[in-house]
C-alpha cells in the first residue's frame, strides 16, 4: 500500500483551474521536490494534500484512506505534518508551548479530566512534555524553550516550526519553501538539518523550494509544474537538463 496517492487531482477556484490532473505516488521514505515558477500551483497541491482544500476532482489517498472529506487536523492525525512559506508560530506562546500545543489532537482527555487533574490528564501531559523536550534537545533548541518565537532570529524560528511539525510524529512531512527569507549561512544549516531529519526520523519528505541549491542538494526526485500542469519529473540531473523546465523558468529567448 502506497503512503500517499494523488490521481488526476484537479483544483478549481470558480473558473480558474489552479492544478490540473496532478498524479503522484509515495511508497514511503522518499525525498521529493515540487518546483515551478511563481503561481504554478505548488502550494495549492500542498493545501490539498494536507486537507486545507478539497479537490474539485480526482483522488487523494493517504495510507489507504480517502482524505478528501477530512479537515486539516484529521489529515494530521493520519500522519501528515507541514510547515508554511510564511512562518506561522504562536508568538504569544513560548517555544516549548508552540511544540506542545501541536499535539492537541491526541490529548486523550476531556475538560473534566483537565479540571480535576486526573491520571489520564497527567499521563497525557507527561507524554506531550516528553516529546516536546526531546525535540528541543534534538534540534538544538533547548536553551530557547521559554523564549517567545518573535525574539529569535528568523533561522531559529524556522527550526522551531519544523520541530513543531515533527512533534506530531508524522509519516509524511511537507516543507513549503523552508529556505524562504534565510541568509546563505542559514540555508547551509537548513540543508544539513533537513538531511539529518530525513535520515534520523525515517520520514518521507515532500518539499516546495525556489532555491535550487536546496532542491538539488536534498531531493532524490523532482516534479515540475507550470500553470497547474506537470511538465517534467525525474532526478535532479535530469530536471536541470530538461528543455521544458528551462523554458518555464527562463522563457524561449533564453534557450
Are the beta carbons of 60 and 6 closer than 8 angstroms? yes
The span from the CA of 22 to the CA of 230, in Å, is 7
Domain boundaries of the chain, sorted by first residue: 1-79+170-254, 89-167
pLDDT one digit per residue (tens) for the chain, 255 residues:
899 999 999 999 998 999 999 999 999 999 999 999 999 999 999 999 999 999 999 999 999 999 998 999 999 999 999 999 888 899 999 999 999 988 876 677 777 877 788 887 788 788 888 999 999 999 999 999 999 999 999 999 999 999 999 999 999 999 999 999 899 899 999 999 999 999 999 999 999 999 999 999 999 999 999 999 999 999 999 999 999 998 888 665 443
Edge to edge, what strands does the sheet with 16-26 contain? 16-26, 4-13, 57-62, 65-66
CATH topology of domain 1-79+170-254: Rossmann fold (3.40.50)
Q: What is the pLDDT of residue 67?
A: 96
CB atoms within 10 A of CB 151: 11
- pTM for this model (two decimals): 0.90
Amino acid at each position: 500500500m502506497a503512503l500517499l496517492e494523488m490521481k488526476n487531482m484537479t483544483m478549481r477556484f470558480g473558473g480558474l483551474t489552479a492544478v490540473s490532473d496532478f498524479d503522484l505516488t509515495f511508497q514511503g521514505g522518499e525525498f521529493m521536490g515540487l518546483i515551478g515558477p511563481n503561481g504554478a500551483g505548488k502550494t495549492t497541491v500542498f493545501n490539498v494534500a494536507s486537507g486545507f482544500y478539497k479537490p474539485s476532482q480526482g483522488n487523494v489517498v493517504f495510507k489507504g484512506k480517502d482524505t478528501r472529506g477530512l479537515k486539516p487536523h484529521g489529515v494530521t492525525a493520519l500522519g501528515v505534518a507541514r510547515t508554511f512559506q510564511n512562518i506561522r508560530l504562536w508568538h504569544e506562546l513560548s517555544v516549548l508551548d508552540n511544540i506542545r500545543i501541536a499535539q492537541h489532537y491526541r490529548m486523550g482527555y476531556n475538560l473534566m479530566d483537565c479540571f480535576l487533574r486526573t491520571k489520564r490528564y497527567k499521563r497525557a501531559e507527561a507524554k506531550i512534555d516528553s516529546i516536546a523536550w526531546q525535540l528541543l534537545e534534538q534540534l538544538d533548541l533547548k536553551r530557547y524553550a521559554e523564549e517567545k518565537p518573535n525574539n529569535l532570529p528568523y533561522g531559529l524560528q524556522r527550526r522551531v516550526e519544523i520541530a513543531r511539525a515533527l512533534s506530531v510524529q508524522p509519516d509524511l512531512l511537507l516543507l513549503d519553501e523552508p529556505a524562504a527569507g534565510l541568509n546563505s549561512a542559514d540555508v547551509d544549516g537548513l540543508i544539513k538539518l533537513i538531511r539529518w531529519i530525513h535520515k534520523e526520523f525515517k520520514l518521507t519528505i515532500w518539499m516546495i523550494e525556489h532555491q535550487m541549491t536546496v532542491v538539488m542538494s536534498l531531493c532524490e526526485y523532482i516534479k515540475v509544474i507550470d500553470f497547474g500542469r506537470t511538465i517534467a519529473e525525474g532526478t535532479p540531473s535530469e530536471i536541470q537538463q530538461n528543455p521544458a523546465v528551462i523554458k518555464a523558468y527562463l522563457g524561449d529567448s533564453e534557450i
